Chain A
Amino acid sequence: MGLLNKLDDPYYGGGIILGKVEDILNWGRSKSDWYLQFGLACCAIEFMAVNASHFDFMRFGCIPRTSPRQADFIIISGTVTFKMAERIKVLYEQMAEPKYVISMGSCSNCGGPYWEHGYHVLKGVDRIIPVDVYIPGCPPRPEALEEGMIRLQEKINKQAIFNKRKRLAEEEKQELIIDN
């Protein structure tokens, strides 16, 4: 959204920005997302690689937290089995609002290579928790995960904070009018 660009702009000068409080809050929120340190399968190894020196995930402001209570988002990195699905649900419920989910890899998107004969594999994590960003690939390249992170930041930037219900209701009304 380019808050910093505005500061550089001579016409805005003096380091003063005029903007909505919501935008500033969202800017802060999107640039310091903490994720739950949680890996499931092969994709988790790529996830580890993203955390390490070559790809440096921390430059997105992402810091691993070991407790779901402190995490802003969770990356489902790998195959979700039925034995694990219930635990993932619990983990998700333990996270504080607002919370986001990135589904990394074909397995957690739709069952991946195990979609047909995998009697013990949940075909898509979105059957138990809502997902914000899907990253395709088996495994997705680290760059793809970073792109997914950027997409999540974009999503957070667009979110409404104040008068959310009222605004949503208004939007719905508008939509109804348009539909009719």
Chain B
Amino acid sequence: MQAQEIYEKLKAEFGDAIIEFNAEPFFDPFVLVTTDKLFDICLYLRDTQGLEFDYLSCLGGMDYKENLGVVYHLYSIKLKHTFVIKVTVSKENPFVPTVERIWRTADWHEREAYDMMGIQFEGHHNLIRILCPYDWENFPLRKDYVQPDEYHGMKVPY
């Protein structure tokens, strides 16, 4: 199914929760959705006949300077089509509902997004750091991150 059709289907189902559809050249077509309906939209995408996005390829946290975002790349093994969803949240209040119960692979991806970007996934069963040490400070992939000088007595800069 083409992205345009999927978007129309979503728009008919969720209305205002779909903020924007982008199909500019050089962009994988994506929809921007609101965070409060994200879980329902994902569930709908997975369970509706004709969509059946049963495979979460990639989940990545983003830093758009003013705010943060999460990008979901979906794929359907049966129907072999792809789709992209985005949400944005503010830096002061970075709460996104978890999709861990829809695709279990989201568990580790969300932990990584939390570790790198500091996005809080509401309802995640075990949201702790995954790549950096558990006592690491700050979120390294934010654009304004500065390297620490020292970690446990070891010098960090070259």
Contacts and interface: CB of A to CB of B under 8 A. Distances in A.
Instruction: Verify whether A and B have any Cβ pair under 8 Å.
Output: yes
Interface of A: 82-83, 85-86, 110-111, 115-116, 119-120, 122-123, 127-128
Given A82-B133, A83-B133, A116 B155 contact: no
Nearest to A82: B151
A110 B147 CA distance: 17
Contact of B156 (A83, A86, A119, A128): A119
A44 B154 CA distance: 24
Instruction: Please name the 5 residue pairs, one residue from A and one from B, whose CB atoms are nearest each other, closest first.
Output: A119-B147, A123-B158, A83-B133, A82-B151, A115-B158
7 contacts: A82-B151, A82-B152, A82-B154, A83-B132, A119-B147, A119-B156, A127-B154
Interface string B127-158: 00001110000001000010110011011111
Contacts of B131: 120
A119 B155 CA distance: 10
A119 B158 contact: no
Given A82-B151, A82-B152, A120 B132 contact: yes
B158 A120 contact: no
Q: For the complex, would chain A's binding face be called helix, strand, loop or mixed by DSSP majority?
A: loop
A111 B157 CA distance: 10
A12 to B, nearest CB: 53
Nearest to A85: B154
Q: For the complex, would chain B's binding face be called helix, strand, loop or mixed by DSSP majority?
A: loop
Nearest to B145: A119
Contacts of A86: 152
A122 B154 contact: yes
Contacts of A82: 133, 151-152, 154, 156
A120 B157 CA distance: 10
Contacts of B145: 119
A103 to B, nearest CB: 16
B152 A120 contact: no
B49 to A, nearest CB: 45
Interface-central residue, A111, A119, A120, A127, by most chain B CB under 10 Å: A119
Nearest to B148: A119
Contacts of A128: 154
Contact of B155 (A83, A115, A120, A127): A127
A36 B157 CA distance: 29
A116 B132 contact: no
B155 to A, nearest CB: 7
Contacts of A111: 158
A85 B150 CA distance: 13
